[in-house]
Amino acid sequence: MSKLSTFAQTRAEELSSQWKGTNFLGGTTKNFIDGEFRESTTEKWIDVLDPATQTLLSRVPETTSAEFESAVESASKAFQSWKKTSVLKRQRFALDLQALIRQNMDSIAHTRARQDVCRSVRRHISIPYAQGDVLRGLQVVEFACGIPTSLIGEKLEVSKDMDTETRKVPLGVCASIAPFNFPAMIPLWTIPVAIVTGNTLIIKPSERDPGAAMMLAELCQRAGLPNGVLNVVHGTVPTVNAICTHPKIKAISFVGGNRAGQHIYELGTKNGKRVQCNMGAKNHAVIMPDANKDQALNALLGAACGAAGQRCMAISVAVFVGAAQNFIPELIARAEKLQVNQGFEKGAEFGPVTTPAAKARIVGLIDSVEKEGGKILLDGRNIQIANYPNGNFVGATLVEVTTSMTAYKEEIFGPVLAVMNVGTLDEAIELVNTNPFGNGAAVFTQSGPIARKFETEIEAGQIGINVPIPVPLPMFSWTGNKGSFLGDINFYGKGGINFYTQTKVRI
């Protein structure tokens, strides 16, 4: 079995010695309960393996029922005082946290790259990509620094000697369930907003890469957050079910796949909780004949293969309209040149997918294209990377599909771009809108009227005009819809403030 590179080994040793709650040398990941990093007493552990070498990085506990109950009780007790803490003190926590994250961005990015998937986006090695993950989360912390303005209520004199006043108050103990592909950004979608609005929070990071969440917990503690306001527990289905059914947990935020999201939404709402679930996607990019070819092709490859395609806003379907199909041969030629490697290697443009099971699923979906009558235009199934024979590598893959094929219907979550041809913009819009998902869609064109028509008629919640991955900044809200979202209040921005508060009226 191959070993970690010298660079990766050195960073693993440094991070393991510098941070209390996590380990990258085969040790255990701790729970963070009531301000303490606690070793779990569980008998069930989950191995976190480096996806390029299968080296054991850490062992993650399946949190016991008693440990989970302790976390909830800690959060519940802390809420009684935290909700009474002035908004200016809560703002000070956010200000101090953002400074600490900036100071430690490199360390968080390295654990994200090392323990997550060691991958990169086009034209950047994995560290800049991982820093982007942290930066987008940091922007939510910076948004939360403006919490006093966001919580200003309303007051009206409704009659002589009578006023009516409204204000936002916290819900109580909340929970956040994070995915593997953005182990820093997604916790930071919820930690700052939930906490500055006066709630306490229990985080369950992905069992595949909990390191970044543990670092964030330690930074929250350094920023002066009282014990119990933030707790971190680990695990799989049993921990998720405990979150969904515990009577003291009032709200749940989830980002991840459809199957898990539907289960969490149904079980959580059944138990009277407010729930928001960002789930799967099948994001389309429509390429018009008048598009800037160089810009469009670079954007397609970066959005489809960056991060090895393992992100919910990846472009997974390219729809070429009319003569734009003449761009396809050059798209294939450029995709062939993408450099796949361990992720820390110089020149690597993306790395391995997260697990052997993920690779097997991706390869199976590529196989299905041939079986169902489609064409494989570029095949990355059998890619071999020198020095990493055990890596979960899938090379850039382009497939020609129809809407009836499995590879079109399902989210592949790998460096696979489905290619389709249509005759007109109207056909493209109909194709995109017929798809059940609704995270995002993009159009590449130099025509203002075409861009306006696309923006107006496309049903997806986030639209990019010559922008392949239209993710809004935190002063706005994430607005995925249709089959990509369950709930009625969005993540971060004004939506996030509303999700973590309820309105109280005084007359």
Catalytically active residues, by annotation: 312
Classify each residue of 450-474 as buried b or exposed e, where b means 16 or more C-beta atoms within 10 Å of its C-beta: bbebbeeebebbbbbeebbbbbeeb
Taking alpha carbons only, the member of 241, 383, 202 closest to residue 305 is 383
336 with 396: CB under 8 angstroms?
yes
Alpha helices in 83-184 (DSSP H): 87-103, 105-112, 126-144, 147-150
Rounded CA separation 201/226 (Å): 12
Alpha carbon separation from 381 to 121, 360, 362 (Å, rounded): 19, 10, 9
313 with 471: CB under 8 angstroms?
yes
Cβ-based neighbour number of residue 86 at 10 Å: 9
DSSP state of 116: I
Rounded CA separation 243/204 (Å): 9
> Parallel, antiparallel, or unpaired for β 200-204 and 230-232?
parallel
Taking alpha carbons only, the member of 113, 109, 114, 129 closest to residue 4 is 114
Alpha helices in 145-210 (DSSP H): 147-150, 185-196
424 with 383: CB under 8 angstroms?
no
Alpha carbon separation from 229 to 32, 195, 200, 493 (Å, rounded): 11, 7, 5, 21
Residue type, 182: F
Angle (deg, nearest 10), helices 258-270 and 237-245:
30
Unique residue bearing structure tokens 């204000």: 167
